[in-house]
A and B are shown apart, each in its own frame.
Chain A
Amino acid sequence: MKYVIIGNSAAGIGAVEGIRQVDKEGEITIISNEPHHTYSRPLISYLLLGKTTEEKMKYRGDEFYDRNNVNFIHATANKIKKKQVLLDNGERVDFDKLLVATGSSAFVPPFEGLASVKDKFTFMSLDDAYKLNDALASDKKVLIIGAGLIGLKCAEGILKRVAHITVLDLAPRILSSILDDDGAKVVQSHLEGKGIEFKLAGSVKVFEANTAVLNNGEKIDFDILVLAVGVRPNTALLNGIADIERGIAVNAKSQTSAPDIYAAGDCTQTLDVSSNQNKIMALLPNAYMQGECAGLNMAGGEKNFDKAIPMNAIGFFGLHVVTAGNYSGDVYAKTESNDYKRLFYSDNKLNGYILIGNVEKAGIYTSLIRERTPLDKIDFALVCEKPGLMAFTKEDRMAKLS
């Protein structure tokens, strides 16, 4: 059996580990247009912060490819034709089962005048991080467009190394995809306390070299521009081959609509069981688990990845933010000194939560969402107050701990 995986990151590595649980012999080839050993993408901001090194960023140990007998090709996959992948270097790679784990790319809106900006960067890869690193200096002013996870992680990573950071976003609040208004304020004031300046509900009308002119006429001068507006799934390889909606459409077995072609990770859209909607999750745990599921199925095993929910853990300068699910329904709210908690529930189910500060045992909540646990089967008042196994019936507790 010839397995080919395009993408050498969380989903691709998950697939290797999935395949090898079932098939120790089959030939595995990974094709990647990044030249590096598999690394943890979220760590690129920690690299700039000086909290990790390229060596420590490795997502799996040095022996990974040898131990799993994986053949690594550094090239770009340009086309899929019948049962072959065509590479930019002219080579063709045959496959019996293919996994597309191509992730996502930075979305760069067609801002007027963007071409006039000399030092502009995206923040998606190790090479992006090295390029940005080379431009940093203690007298430079930075403008980051996008107050999402990537933009703010970038801000944290470089704050100490530049003169000033302004973060601009179209949305009226930061981290708009994972926080509600009040939660966003808590995190924003924490970041402002560290020296980051925000311009929210604003957008760039035109760039004039080192100046951004906003729609309201305000001007922001900068030396370095970081574009972190959002990401788009890399779906092009499957154009005309398999169904693509917002991302590559896959079933619970990670199969696309094309025979013998699977897809996993940020390039796909996945059913969010907390809202029953198909979404692009673009998160590492989901990418790994979907990749592992794909690998198991490609190798003839049986596995469903059918409990996906958006979920995110992120910290900024020691302030932790953990969120999951969606924020519809009734709200349990508690704010206590620096700890912020919101639980969202309806129809006897927990739909989502936001925890800022104290995030202990957050996984208890995640599991209630993921398992769609009926809330009348547990002591919901207790679990709101204090997440723990105590909230389950004695029978369920015994079963969980046996």
Chain B
Amino acid sequence: MKRVYVNEKWCLGCHLCEYHCAFAGTNGKDMARSLKDIKINPKIKIEEKDGVSFAVSCRHCHEPLCVKGCITGALSVSGGVITIDRNRCVNCYTCILSCPYGAISPSEDGAVQKCELCIKTSKGTPACVEGCPNGAIVFEERR
């Protein structure tokens, strides 16, 4: 299965992936207009310190601790992609406690959020990958 992989060597720390991720969740047509004046809460997040930066989003683990620990069954694996049924999530944050990558986060609307590889929004390639100007995020089959 194809997954998102990042390479800190190429990451510019420009945060464009975060904007593309946030935009992909809006159903808007124009990124600048859709995100104007809002504080974005993307599912991919840049970590940066002392000139090093890299993006972190869900790894779609083979042994997804978030899914196994979810107290409601809102998280599940579908064709290798770890997805969330936002209707069944009760915001208990057991998954936030469980994920070793810090890749699942609170959101504003009563359910947690995580990268679902854009399967619910678009067209094959995740928005962060398309939006990265320096090839620091790729979408490929590795194992």
Contacts and interface: CB of A to CB of B under 8 A. Distances in A.
A46 to B, nearest CB: 6
Interface in B87-115: 87-88, 90-94, 96-102, 104-106
B63 to A, nearest CB: 9
B19 interface: no
Contact of A292 (B68, B91, B106): B68
Nearest to A64: B73
A52 B85 CA distance: 14
A40 interface: yes
B96 A362 contact: yes
A360 B52 contact: no
B91 A315 contact: yes
B88 A401 contact: no
Nearest to A288: B68
Contacts of B40: none
Contacts of B92: 42, 313-315
Given A42-B92, A360-B102, A382-B49, A402 B69 contact: no
A59 B93 contact: no
Contacts of A324: 97
Given A40-B73, A313-B97, A322-B96, A390 B90 contact: no
Which of A59, A361, A394, A398 has most B Cβ within 10 Å? A361
Contacts of A397: 8, 54
Contacts of A5: none
A313 B94 contact: yes
A240 to B, nearest CB: 33
Contact of B73 (A59, A366, A390, A400): A59
Nearest to B52: A390
A398 B93 contact: no
B6 interface: yes
A139 B88 CA distance: 32
A359 B71 contact: no
B96 A361 contact: yes
A401 B6 contact: yes
B10 interface: no
B130 interface: no
B71 A401 contact: no
A363 B98 contact: yes
Nearest to A400: B101
Interface in A111-130: none
B7 to A, nearest CB: 8
Contacts of A52: 90
Given A292-B68, A366-B98, A387-B102, A402 B5 contact: yes
Contacts of A398: 8
Contact of B97 (A42, A289, A362, A394): A362
Nearest to B88: A56
A102 B118 CA distance: 40
16 contacts: A56-B88, A58-B73, A60-B73, A61-B73, A285-B94, A313-B97, A360-B102, A361-B105, A362-B93, A363-B98, A363-B101, A364-B102, A382-B49, A389-B47, A401-B6, A401-B59
Given A313-B97, A366-B97, A401-B59, 15 more contacts: A14-B68, A43-B90, A58-B73, A285-B65, A288-B69, A289-B69, A362-B93, A364-B100, A387-B102, A388-B102, A389-B47, A390-B48, A401-B6, A401-B8, A402-B142
